[in-house]
């Protein structure tokens, strides 16, 4: 029993995997729920372009027409981007229902990892992962992304975690679940829009080759996924204290509006976007492109081993 009966891999991605080329998986909740149209479509296309420019093959993943689609073509990318928040936000618990009913779903980090592993893709680029929400001691809101990192052998390149989350608790859970966190060129765990969070990573890596060596051994030993934390480029980074103020406001607004559960992350992202007058969206796009470039280099280094 496995996911393979419900996975449809595009020809381009299948050929790349068969010839041992670097392949980078991309999630699609960031397209459906993370950004408004048309910026989401533009971002999705640009990120694929960055991966190609760095010598690897992109594989955007989504649930469509009763299948996990691995490697969307441009028409499906546009269909997904236009569907936006009307699509389901597909977490692990939603998979069977969405596949059985043929609904369209943007895959989160967790479900994108599931499909990537099943397809034989070892590297995945995203913006930020889900984690432990602030107040989780009463709400129990801890993203399924952390569980998936603990059991699925895929390396996820992200810009750390947004401080809409409790970063200290997120790092604690990653430690408990045995997930290594590699800082790409840094020993500081980045906070998505800002390069610093005040928290350290377990291991700093100086290059894609160094990251690939650890990732390859982690998978060979059958241990878990790996989180690669890659800070937002200096030029695009936002002031940590300014963004903190907006996040505090957004969390207050979410509480007042009674927003929780799977709606929490999309609501907070949208609220921060409004409060920063769109600046947070520009930074978000820049960091995703930066992660795609690093993921492509790591995927190529893994393929060359």
Strand partners, 89: 106
| SS3 labels along 89-126 | EECHHHHHHHHHHCCCEEECHHHHHHHHHHHCCCEEEC
* 148 touches Mn ion (CB under 5 A): no
Q: Which is nearer to ligand PSU, 44 or 208 (CB)?
A: 44
* Spatial separation of the C-alpha atoms in residues 46 and 30, rounded to whole Å: 14
Among the listed ranges 15-23, 29-37, 69-77, 171-179, the one in contact with ligand PSU (CB under 6 A) is 29-37
* Spatial separation of the C-alpha atoms in residues 45 and 28, rounded to whole Å: 12
78 and 64 in contact (C-beta within 8 Å)? no
Q: Which is nearer to Mn ion, 14 or 263 (CB)?
A: 263
Q: Which of 40, 60, 143, 163 binds ligand PSU (CB under 6 A)?
A: 143
Q: Which of 117, 145, 166, 289 binds ligand PSU (CB under 6 A)?
A: 145
* 246 touches ligand PSU (CB under 6 A): no
Neighbouring C-beta atoms of residue 261, cutoff 10 Å: 8
Identify the CA nearest to 197 among candidates 247, 252, 262.
Answer: 247
* 265 touches ligand PSU (CB under 6 A): yes
Q: Out of 89, 148, 162, 289, which one is annotated catalytic? A: 162
* 141 touches Mn ion (CB under 5 A): yes
> For tokens 């059991």, what's the residue?
151
27 flagged as catalytic? yes
Exposure string of 41-62, with b = 16+ CB inside 10 Å and e = fewer, is: bebbbebbebbeebebbbbbbb
* 299 touches ligand PSU (CB under 6 A): no
162 flagged as catalytic? yes
**Binds 58: which of ligand PSU, Mn ion, none (CB < 5-8 Å by kind):** none
* 163 touches ligand PSU (CB under 6 A): no
- Which residues lie near Mn ion (CB under 5 A)? 141
Active site residues: 27, 162
- Which residues lie near ligand PSU (CB under 6 A)? 27, 29-30, 33-34, 91, 108-109, 127-128, 130, 143-145, 162, 262, 265, 269
């Amino acid at each position: 029993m496995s996911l393979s009966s419900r996975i449809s891999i595009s020809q381009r991605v299948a050929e790349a995997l068969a010839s041992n080329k670097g392949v980078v998986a991309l999630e699609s909740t960031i397209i459906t729920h993370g950004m408004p149209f048309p910026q989401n479509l533009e971002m999705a296309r640009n990120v694929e372009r960055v991966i190609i420019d760095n010598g690897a093959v992109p594989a955007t993943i989504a649930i469509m027409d009763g299948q996990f689609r691995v490697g969307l073509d441009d028409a499906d990318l546009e269909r997904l981007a236009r569907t936006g928040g009307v699509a389901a936000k597909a977490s692990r618990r939603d998979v069977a229902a969405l596949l059985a009913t043929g609904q369209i779903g943007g895959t989160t980090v967790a479900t994108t990892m599931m499909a990537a592993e099943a397809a034989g893709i070892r590297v995945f680029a995203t913006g930020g992962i889900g984690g432990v929400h602030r107040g989780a001691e009463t709400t129990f809101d801890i993203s399924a992304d952390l569980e998936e990192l603990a059991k699925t052998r895929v390396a996820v390149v992200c810009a750390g975690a947004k401080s809409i989350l409790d970063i200290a608790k997120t790092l604690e859970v990653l430690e408990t679940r045995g997930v290594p966190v590699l800082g790409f060129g840094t020993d500081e765990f980045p906070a998505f829009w800002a390069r610093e969070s005040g928290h350290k990573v377990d291991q700093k890596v100086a290059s894609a080759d160094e990251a690939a060596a650890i990732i390859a051994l982690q998978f060979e030993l059958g241990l878990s996924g790996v989180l690669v934390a890659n800070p937002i480029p200096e030029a695009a980074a936002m002031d940590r204290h300014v963004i903190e103020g907006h996040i505090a406001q957004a969390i207050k607004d979410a509480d007042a509006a009674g927003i929780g559960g799977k709606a929490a992350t999309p609501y907070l992202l949208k609220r921060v976007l409004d409060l920063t007058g769109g600046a947070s969206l520009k930074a978000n796009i820049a960091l995703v492109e930066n992660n795609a470039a690093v993921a492509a280099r790591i995927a190529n280094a893994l393929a060359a081993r």
